[in-house]
Structures are given as C-alpha cells and as structure tokens.
Chain A
Amino acid sequence: MTFIWTTIGALLTLSIYSFLYKDNPFYKFAEHLVVGVSAGYYLVIYYFNFIHPNVFSPVFLLRMGGEPIGFGSFLWWMALIPGLLGILLYARFFPKFAWVGRWALGVYVGGYAGLGISPVMQARVIEQLRANAVSVAGVEDPFAAMTNLALGVVIFAAMTYLLIVKRNLGTKNLLAKIGVLLVSAVMGYAGWWVLSLISSTGVVSLTNILLVVGLLGTLSYFFFSMKHKGLLGGLARVGIAFLMVGFGASFGYTVMSRVSLLIGRVSFLLHDWLHLID
C-alpha cells in the first residue's frame, strides 16, 4: 500500500517537474488536482481547527478547550460575538447589505492595528534607533586601527566624491578627475581624522560607520516628499546600493535553501520510490 502511495507521489512530482519543459497535460492534471484537493482540504481544516473549537463548540455544545462553560457566561459571549462578526463578512454576497460586512472588517483591522502598533514601534523604530545611535569609536588594536583607517579613508573619499565633489564641481578631463579624486581623498582623511579626534578611543569602527551610513542612505531613498536631487539624491543612491547588496545576500541564501528542497525531492524519487540510493 505504501508503495502505491509513494508511486502516486512520485508520478505527481514528475508531472510538476515536466513544467520545466513546457506546459503539458501531465502538469495540467497535477495542477488541477492540487488546486481542487487544497480547496476541500482547507475547508475541512478551517472548520475543525477554527470554527468548531472556537465557535460551534462553545456556543452550541457549551464546551471550550474541553472544559464546560455556562450558557450566557463571559466565555460564551466571547465565542458568540466574533462568530456573528464572521457571519457578517458574508453580507458581501447580498449587495443590499454589503455595508454590514465592514463592521466586522473594522473590528478585525482596528483590533489588529491597535494591538500591533506598540510592539512594532518598539521593535522596528525605537530598537533600530537605539542600535544605530552607537559610537563609531573602535578598538585600540593597532592592526585593526590601521585597516580601519585605510578602508575608512577610501569610503570617506568615495562618499565625499559622490555626494559633494562630483555633484558640485563636475569633471571635464583626466587631470580634473585626478584632482577631484585627490581632493576627495584629502577630505575623506580629514573626516576620518576629525572623527578619530573626538572618539573616546582615538580610532573609529568601520562596521559601525557602514551601519549608520547605510541606514541614512536607505531612509533617504524612501523619502517621498522631495525629488531625489542634490544631497538627497546622492544619499538615495548610496541607500539603493546598500539595498542591492542586502538583496544579493538574501537571494543567494534563499537559493541555497531552495536547492536543499530540490535535494529533498530528488531523494524522495531515488531513495523512497526507486530505492536506488541509501
């Protein structure tokens, strides 16, 4: 019996993979089967996981979580009211009463937003602000300080070049370009020197600077009240560069996890079904 089910699963897997060649009757069959089965499956799942234990059982059988509850008790009302609100959603199917469904949506969306806004403000705004209001002061390890200094000058120079020099001075010929780069490097070093001077440890941390610059740039990119020109435009370009680096890393990471899913399916075909590998 197990072999029959495994064979059915394997054939459906192959039918889905046949999509890689082109659309074909096998893929169509598998697609329609999964859509149809999922519709029936979710109907049963929703009823037994949500409607029965949370509405039907408390309201009609007077039991919640296996414990008896009283008719008209607080818990009974707490099951009945959301149930009625849920039924109101179906008013959409009667155009004359469709507006009633908005009550349920209003409670649902409003309650969700009210409960969610404080944790979201704490986790996504306050904590981020606090984490970024960090010192750019670094460690006093001489090697780390020298590496930081070299990289820092390059980054400061690039930032200065992008944000100030290139946008305001322009470049006309090779000599001018070299001159602009030199000016950028000097300004970069000056920026680095000033930071190091006021830093409590005398050196500055590259990682923390990247963190702060990346966040500033990204926030600037998502500022919609002004056109992306001048300094804001430069910052937005820095922000998009950081975003793309982040997306690249995320893409690679997810591709790896998808490959592991593929390995799982191939293992199912070769091991569970055909027994070709151990």
Chain B
Amino acid sequence: MTMKLLRSLTFLAVVSLAVCACAQDARPDSSAAMSLDTVPPAPITCLEARDYVDNSDAGDKIHITWSLSADDGGGMSDVASYQLWRSEGAEAGWDSLGVAAAGQTSYLDETAEPGVDYYYGVAAFDGVNYSEQTSFGPVAGRTNFFQKTRVSVLVLMLVFFGMVLVFTKLAERGADLFVRRIPGLNAIEEAVGRATEMGRPVLYVPGIGEIDNIMTIASLTILSHVAKITARYETPLIVPTARAVVMSAAEEVVKEAYAAVGKPDGYNPDNIRYLSDAQFAFAGAVNGIMLREKPAANLYMGAFWAESLLLAETGFEAGAIQVAGTAMVSQLPFFVTACDFTLMGEELYAASAYLSREPKLLGGLKGSDWMKVLSITIMATGVIIYLLNPDNAFVAWFSSQ
C-alpha cells in the first residue's frame, strides 16, 4: 500500500515536472527580452530648429531637423520612433510635442506662438527605453516680411508693370502702337448693319458680372462702339443688365455714344434695362426679349456663367446673327458652338483697346503681349535646361514651397 502510494506520488511529480517544462518551453524567452529593454538606443545628433518659411507662414511654424540615432537602421536597429518635447525656457518643464516615425529626420511644429522663444528636445525610443535627450534652443517663429520663395513673382510683376508703363507712356505720346484687327470686330459691324436692313433692334448683353469685373469694363467699352454704330444707323439698341450699377454705367455709356455722333435724341433710356440679379431669372427674361422684340443681332460681351448656352441657343433658334466675347474659359465652348463669331479670352480686352485706342488699355495690351514673348522664352529655356539637367536652379527658381 505504502509502495503504491509512493509510486503514485513519484508519477505525479514526474508528470508535473514534465508539464512545467513544456509550459516553460512554450513561453517566450522573457528573460532575454528583459535584458534588451535595459539598453536604451543611441541618442540623435545634429539637432536643429529653425523658423519655417512657406507661402502662408505667420510665424507659427518651426522646423526641427536631426540626424538619425546610430541604432536606427544600424547598430542594434531597435529604434521604434522619436519623441519630441518643447519647453518655453530652462525653468519651464518639457511638454510633449509629438512623435516622429523611425527613419524620419524632421518635424514641423505648427503650434508655435509667433515671437516666443522655444527649446526643443528629441530622444529615440525603442518601445521601452528612451535614449538620452538632445536639446536645442532657443528659437522663435517670426512672421516673414519678405518671402524669399516669392522672388520670382515679384520680379515678373515688376517686369510686367514696367512694360505696361512704358507702352502706356508711348501711347500717350502718340506713338503708333500696332494692334492687329480682330475678325470678330468686323462681325459686330456686319451684325448691326444686318439689323438695320431688317428694321429690327440690336440686343447687347454685357454679361452678369459686377462693375468691378474687368470683362464688364471691357464690355462697356465695346458697348460704346456698338452704340455709336446703332446711333448712326438709327437702329434701336436694347441693353438688358443683371446688376444695378452696370445698368447705370451702361446708361451713361450709351447716352454719351449717341451724343458723340450727334444723335442725342435717338437715345432711349427705356432700352437700358435692369432685369434681375438672379442668374436664370435674367436668362429667362433675356430669352423673352429675344422672342418678343425679335432683335436681328445679338451681341454677348462680358462675364457669363451657366446662362451662356441658354442665351446663345435661344438666339440661334430665333435666327439672329450672334457675336459673343468672353474670357470665361468654361463658357467659350458654348459661344463657339452657338454663335457666328466669338471673341475668345483676351480678344475681348484687345477689342476694347483696339476700338478705344485708350492709352492705358493699349499699354496693358502691349505689355501683356510682350509678357507672352518673355513667357515663351522662359519656357523654351526651361525645357532645354531641364532636358540636359533635371536638377537645375533655373526651374527651381520658379518653384514655391
């Protein structure tokens, strides 16, 4: 009995030992891990923090850079991340700023107060231990009075303004500045002539832009030219507008044009109409004019949006000869499709300069013309230089951060 009990106890002891041994084999080698955790990674080096300069910098950004820990990718290769701290002085404590991934050598602090001195600390982290912290400071973010990344903008603007001023002065002194005739302008005169022959009015839509829109201003210059022709031919001129100020400006322009050709009595203020500020209400009302008053010539000059095709298509259906002009790139396809002639983009401004011979308009047109030549030259030079060496300073000069 005693022997049986001893054998049983011995068996249990052996089985227990075996089970314990198996369980210990299945567990990770925690003792080995514990030995790794006691060794912190090597600290980072070359820590620097500088005021960051970009195109929207208000002095609230500081750029922090460092060299990788010797254990990041090399050495013990156990760096998991980099921890960043920020302090406002030697007396103040360190606040956690953020974490950068292993392999990363920079961090942008976007929460700095402009003008406040900061100290920055960075330490490598292996998941358990931090390396010795490396510090840098003080550094403060400053609002940049002059953004070096915009030098190219400044230079090209000065060149452009210079050219505009020179050509404006030349025009004022009576120099003969050549501007080529734009085919669409002949079409305007033909359209008005046709309306006169048919005894029907001319419809002139100056767009739905406000008076501060450069297209509306160019349109009013062309309106003056059209009004002079209609005054001479004694053809009614209808000008529907979508803006109250544009209406009063159009009234002045048409009135002056009629007076300029000696036909002040031919001016009818009822034909300069305010319809509606609402885009499609305006379009609907102009369509109604087209169908009821049956103008033989429809001229659309100015800033147009989605109403362009509604107007041009109705005018086409009504059988009117149509000439359009706008710098709204998204609307040009509709005018090109539905109108007989279209002044595209800058042709609208060129037309107003050509017709008025106003020195400022001529100066602007000639200045932008030669700016195009300069642009082509820069582009061609850039292509050649880039072809030979992609990492060249010439193209980089035009790049902004």
Contact = CB atoms under 8 A, between A and B. Distances in A.
Interface of A: 16, 19, 22-23, 27-28, 30-31, 34-35, 37-39, 41-42, 89, 92-93, 105, 108-109, 112, 117-118, 121-122, 125-127, 129-130, 132-137, 195, 198-200, 212, 215-216, 219-220, 222-228, 243-244, 247-248, 250-251, 254, 258
B330 A250 contact: yes
Contacts of B292: 23
B248 A92 contact: yes
B77 interface: no
B330 A42 contact: no
A224 B369 contact: yes
B297 interface: no
A130 B287 contact: no
B153 A121 contact: yes
B379 interface: yes
B376 A251 contact: no
Nearest to B211: A105
A220 B278 CA distance: 38
B281 A38 contact: yes
A223 B334 contact: no
A118 B398 contact: no
A79 B376 CA distance: 46
Contacts of A250: 329-330, 332-333
A154 B298 CA distance: 42
Contacts of B198: none
Max chain B Cβ within 10 angstroms of own Cβ: one of A121, A126, A132, A224 = A224
Contacts of B212: 105, 108-109, 112
Contacts of B347: 222
A126 B330 contact: no
Nearest to A219: B372
The 6 residue pairs across chains A and B that have the minimum distance between CB atoms? A133-B382, A38-B278, A247-B333, A251-B333, A130-B398, A38-B281
Interface stretch (B103-111, B219-227, B383-391): B383-391
Contacts of A199: 387
Nearest to A248: B333
Contact of B372 (A39, A133, A222): A222
Contacts of B153: 118, 121-122, 126
Interface string B254-269: 0000000000000000
Given A19-B287, A31-B284, A118-B153, A225 B276 contact: no
Interface residues of B, number: 67
Interface string B363-388: 00110011111011011111101111
Interface in B217-263: 245, 248
Contact of A135 (B178, B280, B366, B390): B390
B176 to A, nearest CB: 12
Contacts of B282: 35
A159 to B, nearest CB: 15
Contacts of B39: none
A21 B381 CA distance: 58
A265 B189 CA distance: 41
A199 B383 CA distance: 11
9 contacts: A23-B291, A108-B212, A127-B400, A129-B378, A133-B379, A133-B386, A220-B376, A224-B346, A225-B369
Contacts of B346: 222, 224
A226 B191 CA distance: 26
Contacts of A35: 275-276, 278, 281-282, 284-285
B379 A132 contact: yes
Contacts of B380: 216
Given A200-B388, A224-B180, A39 B379 contact: no
Given A225-B178, A227-B180, A212 B350 contact: no
A198 to B, nearest CB: 6
A129 B284 contact: no
Contact of A136 (B277, B285, B336, B387): B387
A225 B167 CA distance: 12
B281 A34 contact: yes
A34 B387 contact: no
Contacts of B275: 35
B379 A216 contact: yes
A249 B287 CA distance: 27
Contacts of A198: 387-388
B165 interface: no
Given A132-B382, A250-B330, A250-B333, A126 B400 contact: yes
A219 B277 contact: no
A92 B252 CA distance: 10
